[in-house]
A and B are shown apart, each in its own frame.
Chain A
Amino acid sequence: MQLTPPLQIAIAGSGLLGRLLAWQLSLLGHKVVVYDKRPPERDTSAAYTAAGMLAPISEAASSLNSNVLMAGIESIQQWSLWCQSLNLTNALHHGGSLVLAHPQDSAELEQFNHDCRALRDNESLNIKSLNRNAIAELEPHLSKSFEKGLWINPEAHLDNRQLLNRLDAILATQQVTFNFNTDVNVGPGEISETQSDKIYRYDWVIDCRGAGARSQLGQLRGVRGETLHLHTREISLRRPIRLMHPRYQLYVVPKPEHRFVVGATQLESEDVSPISLQSSLELASAVYTIAPAFSEARVLEAGVNLRPAFRDNLPQVTTEPGLVIANGLYRHGYLLAPLVVEQTISIVAGNNNYACEKLSAPPLTNRQAVYEI
């Protein structure tokens, strides 16, 4: 197989992975075509619904996976480089995250602190305990009822919609072809339209349809997540706030133009119907207790989407000649995308021996593809 550019590459799925891969592969001189069943005017990707947090320590502490931690810390550096080359000067914020619990739930905060410290001896982790005054100094608009908090670094957050818009604009200039409203099946070196049975041949097909690939990937499931998008000028936050609670963890992430994303529920269901009242109550009451001035915020959107996940909730990149399947980023889309993009490009570049060790998954070579036809 010809391994030097230009290769003819088809990408199924125009979510975060699809767009990042289209960008990187077209920069390398390959000819890229993207297929997506969604209409061009409505972004239904999980990447669009997501809050765009890069929180390797907090995420690793809640899943106690130190591989996620290490991959995630590298990922923040990669996002810095990507934002520079996309000329996004103000889309990546490095202020860390603030983890809080109400006084009656302080055991949750202690558990979280304990879990963070149990992750790994790592000099780059900076977890600082804060008292009431230190919290107020860091985030003056928060409720004064918080007595203890944790400031966690290095963690960051991305203005993800700004990023997605910029990627779309760049892809348009790089002659990447988008076929929207086109539902496809993938196979080695080929894409077939489900509606017309038309088959198109490519040097490589990359399947990154997220939860949209469930019909072909038997092991993949969707995990429902719900978010609220709020607008208020009364509050400004500098960093994501995570609220620990005995039964759920909720966060609020500041976005440009006085917007905030509050998320996210996590339900083992593939239901994509609108947000439930119960979930709205949980999200709304959590954000209200973080800062009562949120009470007059306007609810702009209530997002619902499916996180694509395999059984272990970790990403998989599997390959066979002519086909790469990259999926299962679960709740770590932005956090782990750099790693998955790197692996995928490495395969397309002919480096099939690339070992996927960073997430403790078995090596890519000799690994059975997970798709079912």
Chain B
Amino acid sequence: MSHIKTLAKDSLTLYGQSFQSRFLLGTALYDSPQQMLDSVSASGAEILTLGLRRQNPENGDGERFWQMIRSTGCTLLPNTAGCKSAKEAINLALMSREIFNTNWIKLEVIGDDYNLQPDPFQLLEAAQELIAQDFCVLPYCTDDLILCQRLREAGCQVLMPWGAPIGTGRGLLNRYALKSIRERFDCPLIIDAGLGSPSQACDAMELGFDAVLLNTAVAKARDPILMASSFKGAINAGRDAYRAGLMQQRQTASPSTPTIGQPFWHQHTNT
């Protein structure tokens, strides 16, 4: 076997920018900013999401907190968490572009208060408008194939379907839909939200998703720093497994030890 894949540089490219890490981490819900910074460092993440909806961004009242996030040197991905209409999300995106000096936006328009499910109609409307205004839109969407198609047509170069509703930790709820999306789109796909354990993140990467974005599973762990490191390992393992090519599952046992010496009439099959 050649080692081309092993040796080749495996970077993630989003809107023309390359990253070595495939782990995008949120900055909310930690016990302290110090714990957040230590978790970021342990995660190896190069892209951090942050919300500013409730921090009175017009007056820059979250500045001291934002400064700590900037100090990581990571690429910042402001989000529109908490917005419930296209208009709110667009306004917040415009504000965050000024504050953080970036045209990247994690577009999130919530349709249901309880499970924070994205509103696909408002999301698409906001994406169209923001792309017209030169934003690089990373939309948080459901696993609906048609919605993903529409977002691609609108000009989104990255899609971020959910694994499960935000904060539930349930992993990939609809594998069929997620697999279909992976098969149908060749753009970068990031599983955003719903992952609770490193094994689920690994699962997403094995399915061929390009990266994973999460927050709660790390921030709410008993030891967030250790959990960040654990996710990092799982994401790398899943990515390597995907690149290495998983074997096909088979119905029958197939011994890895040669069966030479065993009479052929003892080799049963169930088929």
0 or 1 for each of B69-84: is its CB under 8 Å from A? (1 = yes): 0000000000000100
Check A40 for interface membership: any CB of B closer than 8 A: no
Q: Is the CB of A221 within 8 A of B34?
A: no
Check A147 for interface membership: any CB of B closer than 8 A: no
Check A247 for interface membership: any CB of B closer than 8 A: yes
Q: Is the interface of A mostly helix, strand, loop or mixed?
A: loop
* Extra A-B contacts (4), CB below 8 Å, given A221-B65, A269-B65, A312-B35: A270-B62, A270-B63, A309-B32, A312-B32
Q: Is the CB of B59 within 8 A of A271?
A: yes
A312: contacting residue among B34, B61, B65, CB under 8 A: B34
Q: How large is the interface on A (under 10, 10 to 19, 20 to 34, 35 or more residues)?
A: 20 to 34
Check B222 for interface membership: any CB of A closer than 8 A: yes
Check A256 for interface membership: any CB of B closer than 8 A: no
Task: Give the docked Cα–Cα distance between A314 and B35 (Å).
Answer: 12
Q: Is the CB of A115 within 8 A of B222?
A: yes
Q: Is the CB of B167 within 8 A of A246?
A: yes
- When distances are taken between beta carbons in the complex, the residues of chain B under 8 Å from A279 are 54
- When distances are taken between beta carbons in the complex, the residues of chain A under 8 Å from B62 are 268-271
Q: Is the CB of B32 within 8 A of A271?
A: no
Q: How large is the interface on B (under 10, 10 to 19, 20 to 34, 35 or more residues)?
A: 20 to 34
Closest partner residue, chain A, to B36 (CB atom): A311
Closest 9 CB pairs of A and B: A271-B61, A269-B55, A271-B56, A313-B32, A268-B65, A221-B64, A311-B34, A269-B61, A312-B34
- B-binding residues in A (CB < 8 A): 62-65, 111, 115, 118, 214, 221-222, 224, 246-247, 267-271, 273, 276, 278-279, 309, 311-314
Q: Provide a sorted-by-A list of 27 A–B residue pairs whose CB atoms are within 8 angstroms.
A: A63-B32, A64-B31, A64-B222, A65-B31, A111-B220, A115-B222, A118-B222, A214-B64, A222-B64, A224-B61, A246-B167, A267-B55, A268-B65, A269-B54, A269-B55, A270-B62, A270-B63, A271-B62, A273-B59, A278-B54, A309-B32, A312-B32, A312-B35, A313-B31, A313-B33, A313-B34, A314-B32
Check B14 for interface membership: any CB of A closer than 8 A: no
Closest partner residue, chain A, to B169 (CB atom): A107
Closest partner residue, chain A, to B168 (CB atom): A246
- When distances are taken between beta carbons in the complex, the residues of chain B under 8 Å from A312 are 32-35
Task: Give the docked Cα–Cα distance between A62 and B222 (Å).
Answer: 10
0 or 1 for each of B19-33: is its CB under 8 Å from A? (1 = yes): 000000000000111
- When distances are taken between beta carbons in the complex, the residues of chain B under 8 Å from A273 are 56, 59
Task: Give the docked Cα–Cα distance between A312 and B31 (Å).
Answer: 8
Closest beta carbon of chain B to A235's beta carbon, Å: 26
Closest partner residue, chain A, to B116 (CB atom): A247
- When distances are taken between beta carbons in the complex, the residues of chain B under 8 Å from A271 are 55-56, 59, 61-62
Closest beta carbon of chain B to A65's beta carbon, Å: 7
Closest beta carbon of chain B to A217's beta carbon, Å: 11
